[in-house]
Structure 1
């Protein structure tokens, strides 16, 4: 599947030139997305696809963004991840994992009485808290706020809106509707479940990997 060069950090596991691709579409306020991110990507796929793993150099995982607009804060969490990636690309996935860990704070009810600015400030604080060991600085937090704050026109979005549009358009043209959705080499793999563990993923890869 195609990937814009500016979003190369979406490859979160495996080598970028690996011949097989797992596209996994995730929403930060979706509990099933959190389940597959932690229990699938981190616990199972990372050991299998990383250096020394059985499928090292054969399969890569692209963590795609899938905004679910019926959750009010979904937009803001996705903007936040894109802002972090703009500042520090290698922090995209660590911040994504932090968003999943704290996702309940961004559910509909907890954010009901918060303004967009307040939600964005919470997301900035989460970046500072979760990425401190990765070299995140006060200057980075200031830049983050600037990237997610409307500054140009009355209706022009924020600095990462074009990146957000790309991810949404990509999902739409590929008929992605739910999160998580998994594609194997560009084809929807309906059999994949967010609850899969090592056994299921290992059996899946054993059947699918042909190189």
Structure 2
């Protein structure tokens, strides 16, 4: 894939039901990771025919590598495996979160990690090589779309949850998936 090849990013959407559960995540945020790790069970509990899960990426500047990681996830979504490749990268970040974050957002062993080393870690842990897609100039349009969509909906932190287009400030990552399911199906 050349840097000028038109890209198609596979939407990070699972399920096809009428109830839409949108979640705004920053991949290295511990609360976003807790929420992300519940999605497969939630889809199974509610049923893909009843709900649509949409993941929106919410890059945040206090998570110092956020921009690189979000770009790599979206680059993975442009590969033939699309959203499943992106999901593998998100799971790799979730499973190895401390390797992609600074201690207390300000110091620690990752201070000496270069963007290339970070990208190599993402490829190694996920098994998804999106390094070439990462370089594509058109990828920033997808990144900007996620950012604009978040701002348009008043989303500033992660995770934030929406049901059928309405922000749900009382839903949290620590909630039981049965509670999420009740809210989604209400």
TM-score surpassing 0.5? yes
Query: Which structure 2 residue ranges, 5 or more long, are not aligned?
Result: 1-7, 103-107
Deviation track 1:15-62 (CA, whole Å, cap 9, x = no partner) reads 1xx222111001111000010111x3123x121233xxxxx4221110
Matches within 5 A, 1:34-73: 34-38=33-37, 40-43=38-41, 45-50=42-47, 56-73=48-65
Give the TM-score taking structure 2 as reference length: 0.83
Matches within 5 A, 1:5-154: 6-12=8-14, 14-15=15-16, 18-38=17-37, 40-43=38-41, 45-50=42-47, 56-87=48-79, 88-89=81-82, 90-108=84-102, 109-128=108-127, 141=129, 144-149=130-135
Q: Which has the higher contact order (CA 8 A, sep 6+)?
A: 2
> Could you say which structure has the higher helix fraction?
1
Q: Please, what is the CA RMSD of the aligned residues?
A: 1.9
Count of paired positions:
172
Give the TM-score taking structure 1 as reference length: 0.74
SS of alignment partner, residue 11 of structure 2: helix
SS of alignment partner, residue 86 of structure 1: coil
Q: Which has the larger radius of gyration?
A: 1
